[in-house]
Structure 1
């Protein structure tokens, strides 16, 4: 996903859209709408705009787009709540689903016997989601890990 598309989605998917988010971002709805407009060449969102939008909305598409564009994966590192067996099982099912999405994306790419650059976008996004799910599962297991006993 492009950064501009991620910013657009973050702004417009916020409840009430630009009109509700703009005052919280200390700007006008018109300026925020222009910054979110992928066709605008005059109002460009700054890093501060992106940071503020993510903080206010809790929507991290911008962060994930940045990571994906540069070969990184973002996962939450703060406490994620329940670390019990059911929570880990839920994360395992997310990994399975994400792996299935990778397979489906690769299958769709290869269906016509050719791999086109435009098709790789879906494969890349599916792989990113799989990496994210696996790292989230690892983080949860690390939260559950007991310290090694001395002498083992």
Structure 2
């Protein structure tokens, strides 16, 4: 994607995040430590006096659970975000490897189906994109499990 043509501008994403929250700025503002008027001004793209800080944007995303601001920032810089799930408690590296195999299989199935008629439709391209992101997320999750295992081993070796 061309960084000069983002999916959504960060200020639009901030305004949408606040607007979409149940009760809007009036309900969200106290949860992020601002007054409703100040929050409304900070997410208003036409307001020149109040600006949303990075800390406030992060707080908005944490409270609302809406990563649109982060996604818009990444898109403007030419990056894509992948949500990384927390490894399940008690599930180790082997389980992570099996998850990776499943994700790779799902991507391969989507690719196989998309190529079956010699033409890739928009829906097939979307499915391939979702499967590829899931595969990437699973690989990064496996790396997280490997880091955890390495840290556990290093900690137990230090205690010997």
1:33/1:137 CA distance change after superposition, 3 Å: same
Query: Where does structure 1 lack aligned partners over 5 or more consecutive residues?
Result: 104-125, 145-152
Q: Distance in 1 between matches of 2:35 and 2:134?
A: 37
SS in 2 for 1:30: helix
Instruction: Find the structure with the greater CA-based Rg.
Output: 2
Q: Superposition RMSD on alpha carbons, in Å?
A: 3.7
Query: Where does structure 2 lack aligned partners over 5 or more consecutive residues?
Result: 1-7, 89-98, 115-120, 143-160
Q: Distance in 2 between matches of 1:9 and 1:49?
A: 15
Aligned partner (choices 75, 100, 111) of residue 122 of structure 2: 100
Q: Contact (CA 8 Å) 2:30, 2:36: kept in 1 or not? A: yes
Task: Measure how far apart 1:79 and its partner are.
Answer: 2.9
Segments ≥4 residues shifted beyond 2 Å:
78-81, 83-86, 129-133, 135-144
Which residue does 1:150 correspond to in 2?
none
- The number of aligned residues is 116
Question: Structure 2 length as normaliser, TM-score?
Answer: 0.57
